[in-house]
């Protein structure tokens, strides 16, 4: 299920249920995943960053992000309350190829994902897009608008990434809390529609099949 956990609210409001949803934040190396999680988190975010070393120069492509000197080696973690009774637990995935084995564990039970994109290195988010499309995980593409980068519209990005029809593309500033929150709200709304549609499809398919052994 997409719900990470569910718990009752404090005494005095017994009819309200607090939902905590698991969200992944993915994308290429240096695209702003750690920045987004840190910007929106209402708790001190957990970060597993290490300094880049000469040993990793042969495997980490720092083209376009020459000033980046740290990298996430496990995950980032943060939490944000979207509204009363609804919190999101954010898990930022590592961007380099050699850490992708962690994605399967991190994606267990996730409602959906945010795929951060940098139009200067748009090809870097292809692996994340492919990963979530092949596993049927709802996701939105959030274009992190870096200073000095050429501006592209959502339609242009969607076409360049060859996204499935209806996959949302939004423009954002990963450093800005309100901007990041809007991305997360868009994801929750989209993922909710996707999960509801799948549930209705499964119920319809079961009804069409009829009772086992029925000859019509």
Chain segment 79-137, per-residue pLDDT in tens: 999 999 999 999 998 866 666 778 888 899 999 999 999 999 999 999 999 999 999 99
Tokens of 116: 């951060």
pTM for the full model? 0.78
Mean pLDDT on 14-32: 84
Greater model confidence, 202 or 36: 36
Q: How far is CA 94 from the centre of its chain?
A: 12
Confidence grade of residue 202 (pLDDT, cut at 50, 70, 90): confident
* Mean pLDDT rounded to a whole number for the chain: 82
Strand, helix or coil for residue 100: helix
Q: Is 42 helix (H, G, I), strand (E, B) or coil?
A: coil
Report the candidate in 78, 95, 10 with the shortest Cα–Cα distance to residue 38.
Answer: 78
């Amino acid at each position: 299920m997409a719900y990470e956990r569910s718990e009752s609210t404090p005494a005095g409001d017994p009819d309200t249920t607090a939902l905590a949803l698991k969200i992944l934040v993915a994308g290429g190396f240096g695209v702003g995943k750690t920045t987004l999680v840190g910007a929106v988190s209402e708790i001190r975010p957990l970060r597993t960053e290490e300094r880049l070393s000469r040993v990793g120069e042969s495997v980490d492509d720092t083209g376009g992000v020459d000033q980046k000197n740290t990298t996430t080696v496990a995950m980032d973690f943060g939490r944000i309350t979207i509204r009363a009774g609804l919190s999101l637990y954010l898990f930022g995935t590592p961007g380099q190829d050699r850490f992708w084995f962690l994605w399967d564990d991190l994606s267990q039970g996730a409602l959906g994902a945010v795929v951060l994109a940098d139009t200067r290195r748009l090809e870097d988010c292809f692996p994340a897009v492919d990963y979530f499309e092949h596993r049927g995980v709802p996701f939105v593409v959030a274009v992190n608008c870096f200073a000095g980068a050429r501006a592209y519209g959502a339609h242009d990005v969607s076409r360049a990434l060859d996204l499935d029809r209806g996959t949302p593309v939004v423009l954002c500033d990963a450093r800005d809390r309100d901007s990041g929150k809007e991305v997360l709200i868009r994801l929750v709304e989209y993922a909710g529609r996707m999960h509801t549609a799948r549930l209705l499809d499964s119920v319809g398919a079961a009804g069409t099949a009829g009772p086992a052994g029925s000859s019509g």
